[in-house]
Amino acid sequence: MLERGYDGWRAYSQSKLAMVADTFTLAERLDPDEVTVNSLHPASLMDTKMVRESFGTAMTSVEEGVDAVMRLIADPTLEGTTGRYLSGRSEARAGEQARDPEARAQLEWHARDLVEAALAMPPPAV
């Protein structure tokens, strides 16, 4: 939760890890004939404002990232592909925590707890 000692990059990394982990959980639960769930890291240090401000230079173009996204969306050879982690145009191996069933169960428990707490809050005054 980074309630103390907040670091933007750590928060960013943890949110990406959570999304990849959730991909594997959803892919196990959903019928692949109806829904496919995959994670995509479109490009390494893509030329975005965040990358330029943090690193000064990019390694890949936005166009390369778009190409990877479009391939995942529209390539007929990927139809029905689910529960995968892709980096660019290639299948890759996600980090150990993302694949760990116990870590994924803990993530789901914490996420459910946070959502329930948020739903119990009164709406903001307008």
pLDDT (0 to 100) of residue 80 = 93
Provide φ and ψ at 90, rounded to 5°: -120, 150
Query: Which residues in the chain show pLDDT less than 70?
Result: none
Query: Residue for token digits 């925590």?
Result: 97
Q: Compute the chain's Rg from CA coordinates.
A: 17
Please report the beta strands in the chain, taking only residues with DSSP state E, as ranges in sequence order.
38-41, 84-87, 90-91
pLDDT (0 to 100) of residue 67 = 93
pLDDT in tens, 105-124: 999 999 999 999 999 999 88
Burial call 80-90: b when 16+ CB within 10 Å, e when fewer: ebbbbbbbbee
pLDDT (0 to 100) of residue 37 = 96
Contact 115, 72 (CB under 8 A): no
pLDDT in tens, 54-64: 888 878 888 88
Distance CA 28, CA 45 (A): 30
DSSP codes, 114-126: HHHHHHHSPPPP-
